Amino acid sequence: MPVAPIFIDPSAISALYNQRVLEIHAQEAATAWMLRDAACTRSSHALDDLAERDERLVAHLAGLSIAGVRGLQIARDTLSLLGADETFVLTLLTLWSGTTAELDALLGAAANDDEQQRGAIAALAWADFAQAEPLLLRLAAAPQPALRSIAVSAYAAHRRDPGQLLRDAIFDPDQALRAAVYRAAGQLGRRDLFPALVNAASTPAGPEHGEACRYFAAWAAARLGDRSKAVLQTLADVACGDSPLNLAATDLLVRCLDREQAQAFCEEAKDNGHLRVAVRAAGSLGAPELVPLLVAMMQVQHTARLAGEAFATLTGVDMDLLDLVAEDQQPHERDDDNDDNNNDDNDDNLEEIEELDGHLPWPDAQQVWDFWVANSARFAAQTRHLMGLPISAANLPVVLAQGNQLQRAAAALELSLRAPTEPLFEIRAPAPRQREVG
């Protein structure tokens, strides 16, 4: 006798879920975003690698999103201690769910915490702009400066101009909001804000105008074409200070100086003990004449891995493939004989340097030097190089398409300096979006 088929309402099937699986999706989504966020600026990753990380993140987010309200609730319960990564996941899921009141509460809490704010901005930048725009319009009109700052940064991450919002907020009393506006103006190519940026970059730091304000104003002014002494001096002050912005300031500064001035800055930084700044400057400048300095810095514990990365950025070599990596080198085994005049690298921040450079290989200085002696003729003297190519309008798009994330960031910055009214290419955007733009 045939058995009658069992019919189940499709809506009942879609309501079924496995709580433990959803908990894992939530945890893994937060971890996947954290790893992706770090990969965005690392020389160990190219666009294809970023795309793979994006796919993993999307898979975990999809697992939660398909479960609807239950997925969102389990994500909230699982990610109860909010950092940037947890906030990213919850902001995105809540945005997708369309629950306005819950989204407002989440962003209201994020406005009071820098890490949560970073995660919220990243989520709004990840979402399709059409989906994020209604929320961004509401945030742009919010009375709280922190919420308007989130809106400014998210608009800028999408490379969408919020128009009047920047003009209204550029003189706001809130420092964090002003800093976000300055940065956005530079990213978007807003030359109409140029006078305010130059004035802010030239204003001495103080209680109402902190280092971040001065830096982002100077960064934006220089990116938009200003080469005044005051703007360049602000970048130099930040580069040689103890701010976490110092290497980013260095990247732009050496590109705004003429070749002789940039090399002089590099040598002066080294002589004054700012070894990491000198290494970054040499890599950003891409001058073959500075390779001996980089090789020397490969023999100093605090700069060895950064110098190896700078050499690879300049030459385009794969250090592992060419066997230029030290096999058994450990941090405590490095030669510190050249470290006597190092002001910014001491035992107190070894742990910090390990956190910054821990993903980089230790270069074998002798092997690198031997390689350079054998191959230096390939690199034209008095010519800047990036990824082994002379820096030019023709070669920069090649680096942007094929380079690692550090090289791509350098190419994007170089291109933006050649077209100051155009938006700066966003190398942190989801990989499919980057490929559409590129």
Each domain of the chain, given as residue ranges in start order, spans 15-159, 171-244, 257-385
Res. 332: pLDDT tops 90: no
- Determine the Cα–Cα distance for residues 404 and 42; give it in Å rounded to an integer: 7
CA dist., res. 384 & res. 41, Å (int): 21
Least confident of 192-196, 270-274, 353-357: 353-357
What is the average pLDDT across 308-313? 98
pLDDT, one tens digit per residue, over 32-50 is 999 999 999 999 999 999 9
Question: Which of 344 and 258 is assigned the larger pLDDT?
Answer: 258
Phi, psi of 340 (to 5 degrees): -60, -35
Least Cα distance to 118 among 158, 146, 159 occurs for 146
Beta strands in 9-126 (DSSP E): none
> pLDDT tens for residues 197-225?
999 999 988 888 888 999 999 999 999 99
Predicted local distance difference test score (pLDDT) of residue 438: 67
Q: What is the pLDDT of residues 80-121, one digit of tens each?
A: 888 999 999 999 999 999 989 999 999 999 999 999 999 999
Closest C-alpha to 143, from 101, 111, 116, 183? 111
Instruction: Please state, in angstroms and rounded to a whole number, the distance separating the CA atoms of residues 39 and 404.
Output: 10
Across the range 225-251, mean pLDDT stands at: 95
